Amino acid sequence: MGKDKRGERLLPEPEVEEAFRRLKAHMPGRTAFAKGPKDQPDPFRSVVSCLLSAQSLDRNTALATDNLFALARTADEILALPDAELAAAIRPCGLYNTKTRNLKKLCRALVDEHDRVVPQTREALMALPGIGRKCADIVMSFAFDQDVIAVDTHVNRVANRIGLTDAPTAEKTAADLVNRAPAWAQRDGHFWLIQFGKAVCRSQRPRCETCFLNDLCLYFTAGKPLAGTAALA
């Protein structure tokens, strides 16, 4: 069991690399059909749908994005919508008044500061209103095909359970994986971890006994949830 300078419980680097080798061998990784967030076809609609997905179920986000893009598909068109009409369209995804304000601010920033082009760097994406680390990484990975491990609920749970990180937030998990995951795993690491989280390391009743990582996994070898993973179990 390894420790970093913060004294956290972590797998040592050789075991981290071995974990990713096994994930690569068992999980399909990025498929030829991988699209932008929520299956959106271009970077603009990807970043908009990612903004709308905050604290929303996928099916509700899909309803909201379908409603919105039936009315407007560009930053200028969204800016031209009255706030009440925009809020009504995205209502299914919740927090629709706040998201309406953020969406208008996002579109204004794209028009005024980026010549209507979605930026491709993490820093520039995170500078956009309503876009945090998770959304930025998801857009970079899916829309721009960059080598980055985007951290959603599944990836955050799996990374903390195994011992790839011991992070209090998904954003910290993402930062740790930049440094701890081997370079060759950065491209498909998101896909291996999310597929593993859905098929094996599930939120409820994870399949620990038959898991191909159980001899490495700190969650399994401890026989109980670790402090950093109790809330993820």
Catalytic residues: 134, 152
Please report, in angstroms and rounded to a whole number, the separation of the first and last CA atoms in the chain. Answer: 20
Calculate the dihedral angle through the C-alpha atoms of 82, 47, 36, 168, rounding to the nearest 10 degrees.
-130
Phi, psi of 112 (to 5 degrees): -80, -30
The residues pairing with 3 across neighbouring beta strands, listed in sequence order, are 9
Calculate the dihedral angle through the C-alpha atoms of 58, 191, 16, 18, rounding to the nearest 10 degrees.
140
Provide the strand spans (E) within the chain.
2-3, 9-10
Tokens of 1: 């069991």
Q: 156 and 170 in contact (C-beta within 8 Å)?
A: yes
Under DSSP, the state recorded for 49 is H
- One-letter amino acid of 199: A
Which helix (H) or strand (E) segment holds residue 131: the answer is: none
* Coil, helix or strand at residue 3: strand
CA angle at 121 for the pair 92 and 69, rounded to the nearest 5° = 25
Within a 10 A sphere around the Cβ of 70, how many other Cβ atoms?
Answer: 9
